Amino acid sequence: MRKKQLTIAVTGLNNIDSPGPGIPVIRSLIASKEFSFRIIGLSYDSMEPGIYMHDLIEKTYHIPLPSAGQQSLLKRLEYIHSVEKIDVIIPNFDAELFNFIKLQSKLLEMGIHTFLPTLKQFEERHKSELAEYGIKYGIKVPKSKLIYSVAEIPNLGFEFGYPLVVKGKFYDASVAYSPEQAISIFHKISGKWGLPIIIQQFTPGTEVNLTGIGDGKGHLIGAVPMRKTYITDKGKAWAGVTIDDQQLLDIAKHMVKKTKWRGGFELEMIRTDDDEYYLIEINPRFPAWVYLAVGAGQNHPEALVKMALGEKVISSEKYKTGRMFVRYSYDMIIDLKEFEMISTLGEL
Amino acid sequence: MNVKKNLALSDTGFVFNPSTGDSYSVNPIGLEILRMLKDKTSEAEIKKYLLLNYQVDSETIEKDYYDFVKGLEQHKLTENNA
């Protein structure tokens, strides 16, 4: 049987040491037995390696940074769509999701489908809102507090004890073992990501993660739990293994049912020695290790495309445990001409 | 004491705990003991087997078996410890 052909545009092509999910999402799509995907890359920077991976991506277009606003993104997408006739866009960065969520009805009018969380779902799981989220949906979250000045740090020891975790509003987190360290981390993170800074109780245990997808009606369409087995100095998984963790799956099912989560997501949790689970973060998109789910028997990006196109997808609970991923770095040799093209024309 | 039901044992002595993602290596005797424990062989029978098949005295078996089982418990490879 001939596979159905679809054109999918994907962001997050920064397959670097802190990788974006774009390339793993594309590899998942290419693994589809049902569809034949033509992939269009959407990039922000000429150094995103995915731009030059011509075996995976047919053509890449620069798009404006999220800070440029929705209108300039829409204008650029209108042009790209006029050339490429995009069926589905899969955005893979937290920072760009707001614009894509706001534009989704306009994109649909153009014939471009998406399958994104609602604005409410996206906003209420922000790191700064997580404590409230935990109370609302009955998920344990470590105690946390927002601070706006280093003057608040000396008193934190009484409230949280040391060590404690200092986190940025969007990215970055470090463990501080003393007020001096907390002050230094505060300056480092706030300088990069702004205020407020989130102070979180340190929860000892093992970090476990789950990649999943919800249908927007309360059903968990697929979920695969993973434990990182090798972590980089940036805290990113360089290797991981699928695990049999029913409690984590139950939490994901509960979260999706209660929030009616729509689209891909990642749960980052700490499992304590007493088998208590604490939510550290919800990422509102697929993680960079989503291709492991394909290796374990579930293709979440393919399911997302089907749901974006209004097709019915049946929930899948089966996956193989003990499937591992190990990342590697690879030097591509590219002609300067290619760099010139994407840098000057914004297309390659 | 029972070892976890879903513990994966391979002939090479590689042990994988699917609940945590942890993996271990055991020597051939450790593998034999783990397999017997998975098959619900009693402690007395395991010790008897070791005494019959290896050149070792019962006192050493007592000590080594205790150490091995404590190691399993510490690594959370057991369930229903009562």
Query: Is the predicted pLDDT of residue A168 greater than 50, yes or no?
Result: yes
* pLDDT for the residue A1: 65
What number of other Cβ atoms are within 10 A of residue A334's Cβ? Answer: 15
Question: Which one of B7, B20, B76, B77 would you mutate to disrupt binding with A, by most A Cβ within 10 Å of its Cβ?
Answer: B20
Strands A59-62 and A35-43: parallel
Residue B20 contacts A where some CB pair is shorter than 8 Å: yes
How much is the average pLDDT of A191-207? Answer: 91
Q: What is the pLDDT of residues A254-313, one digit of tens each?
A: 999 999 999 999 999 999 988 999 999 999 999 999 999 999 999 999 999 999 999 999
ipTM given for this complex: 0.79
Query: Closest approach of chain A CAs to the CA of B37, in angstroms?
Result: 21
How much is the average pLDDT of A180-206? Answer: 92
Contact status, residue A116 vs residue A101, Cβ threshold 8 Å: yes
* pLDDT for the residue A345: 95
Give A245's contacts in chain B (Cβ within 8 Å).
19
Domain ranges in chain A are 4-114+331-345, 143-201
Query: Is the predicted pLDDT of residue A170 greater than 60, yes or no?
Result: yes
Query: Closest approach of chain B CAs to the CA of A254, in angstroms?
Result: 20
Q: Which residue from B minimizes the CA distance to A273? A: B76
Contact status, residue A345 vs residue A46, Cβ threshold 8 Å: no
Q: What is the pLDDT of residues B20-75, one digit of tens each?
A: 999 999 999 999 999 999 999 999 999 999 999 999 999 999 999 999 999 999 99
Question: Which of A157-166, A211-220, B12-21 has the lowest average pLDDT?
Answer: A157-166
Give B20's contacts in chain A (Cβ within 8 Å).
206, 227, 243
Domain A143-201: which CATH class?
alpha beta
Topology of domain A4-114+331-345, per CATH? Rossmann fold (3.40.50)
Question: Which of A14-18, A29-33, A315-319 has the lowest average pLDDT?
Answer: A14-18
Give A229's contacts in chain B (Cβ within 8 Å).
21
Of A136 and B81, which is predicted with more confidence? A136
Q: What is the pLDDT of residues A300-335, one digit of tens each?
A: 999 999 999 999 999 999 999 999 999 999 999 999
Asked whether the beta carbons of residue B20 and residue A243 sit closer than 8 angstroms, the reply is yes
